[in-house]
Amino acid sequence: MNTKYYDLINQTYYFPQEEFKLNKDNLQFHNIDLMKLVEKYGTPLKFTYLPQISNNINKAKSWFRKSMEKNKYEAKYFYCYCTKSSHFEYIMNEAFKNNIHIETSSAFDINIVENLLANGKINKSTYVICNGFKRDQYIDNIARLINNGHKNAIPIIDNFEELDLLQGQIKGKFKIGIRIAAEEEPKFEFYTSRLGIGYKNIVPFYKKEIKENKKLELKMLHFFINTGINDNAYYWNELVKCIKVYVALKKECPTLDGLNIGGGFPIKNSLAFEYDYQYMVDEILNQIKIACDEAEVDVPHIFTEFGSFTVGEAGGALYQVLYQKKQNDRENWNMIDSSFITTLPDTWAINKRFVMLAVNRWNDVYERVLLGGLTCDGDDYYNSEQHMNAVYLPKYNKEKPLYIGFFNTGAYQETIGGYGGLSHCILPQPKHILIDKDKNGIFATEVFSEQQNAEQVLDILGYNKKKNENI
């Protein structure tokens, strides 16, 4: 009978896959022997496989290049990295090996941009697309960047007051963009995005505040929807409305030559994941070109802001199953040596699912389980995979340790989880390693951060601060 864990995965999905295969009984991820990582570094363990960042960037560039050739699209494509997905230096160092640009969302992002400039990772021709609601410090930092000669820094106007704030700080003429406040999918609790300016207000806003202003040069229309770039009626409908605004605005504004279609390429969340990236790029560019040709205006340069797509598939987390609790006749709880709430917060906050697989014991009999984290919180669990209403793993055996892996976790989890700070039930942050590969295909690993210790936690909580003897 086909009762082994390998049989289950092989019958349910096409396996092996591009990034996953087996070495005897153990799982490999991009040819990385995961059990060797466990043996060397222990668990819980987070890792980042740096080459995958460059791989995904170059895939996207290739899709847009092919599509522009196919559609005779006479403009350029600019890949921007959405920094809020992961701000870490090792991410930036890898990403900016690939001649890309950057999108920011808050004040401190500009400090990172300045650091990248100082260290030669980017240059003054790099586009810096400044998104988000802009508080005073963000305005100050954008102004400083532009005043210091970074002419390709483009603040994206989110509301009617930002123009005055920017003009008050920036010397001379500068470039701007305008963000469209897209209408949200029906499942949302609100109708229109809180970010940007409404479709109907953009052209009047341009005529009133920008057209005759010699200090401003409108270069970009920005379009972003929360659900990402998906092949459904909602996305195509919003895109068409965006293109119509672009055409109308272009007829009024000759300097406008960029359309930012935002971010949102999905990443693999299951072994059953299917998405035709090339088709989507072809269709997007085709619709833009048709509309522009009909209106007799030049097609715009295309900007994207890929965050999760850039870094998500580079990340992973490894855990050990410590113990199995049988709570009733039906439920077997496999308790992991960490917490989902603290290390993979999106599994708890938005019910996000990642690729989850056993790391070892693939030739053992499988069973249905629930996965529990170590916090004293009833919601610290993981109970289903994306396309399966359950979790299946090799059967628990106290004498045979079981390790599991969550993959494609590289976007948002560290920052949302409060990297370097306190975690729920003050469980320690796991050890984090970086994995790279040289030209000869040799892997190299280094520890980015050790597992958080008690002294670090006490420091944060204020217990180790020296008391003022005079008090």
pLDDT of 190: 43
- Amino acid in the structure at residue 74: E
Half-sphere exposure of 165 (CA within 13 A, CB side): 18
pLDDT of residue 345: 92
DSSP for 167-233, written as a single string: HHH--S-EEEEEEB-PBPPTTSSSSB-SSSB-GGGHHHHHHHHTTT-TTEEEEEEE---TT-S-SSH
What residues does each domain of the chain span? 5-50+312-459, 51-311
Q: Residue 402, Cβ neighbours under 10 Å: how many?
A: 24
**Nearest CA among 298, 278, 279 for reference residue 288:** 298
In this structure, what token pair is assigned to residue 434?
């970086």
SS3 label, residue 454? helix
What gap in Å lies between CA 442 and CA 421, rounded to an integer? 34
3-state secondary structure 353-415: CCEEEECCCCCCEEEEEEEECCCCCCCCEECCECCECCEEEECCCCCCCEEEEEECCCCCHHH
- Rounded to whole angstroms, the Cα distance separating 47 from 315 reads 6
The C-alpha atoms of residue 231 and residue 18 are separated, in whole angstroms, by 23
Q: DSSP for 35-92?
A: HHHHHHH-SSEEEEETHHHHHHHHHHHHHHHHHHHHTT--S-EEEEEEGGG---HHHH
Helices (H), 227-313: 233-252, 277-295, 308-311
The series of mean pLDDT values per 10 residues for the chain, 471 residues long, is 90 93 96 97 98 98 98 97 96 97 96 96 96 94 97 92 94 95 55 66 93 96 84 88 95 96 89 95 97 96 96 98 90 94 91 95 96 92 75 96 97 91 91 94 95 94 72 50
For the chain, what percent of residues have pLDDT higher than 70?
94
How far apart CA 273 and CA 409 sit, in angstroms, is 15
Of the candidates 400, 358, 402, 406, which has an alpha carbon nearest to the alpha carbon of residue 382? 406
End-to-end Cα separation, the chain, in angstroms: 75
pTM of the complete model: 0.93
Q: Which fold has domain 5-50+312-459?
A: Lyase, Ornithine Decarboxylase; Chain A, domain 1 (2.40.37)
Amino acid at 76: K
- 51-311 in CATH: which number? 3.20.20.10
Task: Report the C-alpha gap between 92 and 203 in whole angstroms.
Answer: 36
- pLDDT of 328: 84
Q: Output the average pLDDT for the chain.
A: 92
Check: CB of residue 145 under 8 Å from CB of residue 114: yes
Give residue-wise pLDDT tens across range 221-275: 998 877 788 888 888 988 999 999 999 999 999 999 999 998 789 999 999 999 9
Nearest to 229 by CA among 285, 272, 188, 191: 285
For residue range 288-316, what is the model confidence (pLDDT) as tens digits? Answer: 999 999 999 999 999 999 999 999 999 99
51-311 has the same fold as 5-50+312-459: no
Which letter does DSSP use for residue 261 in this model?
Answer: -
Of 380, 448, 389, which is closest to residue 414 (Cα–Cα)?
Answer: 448
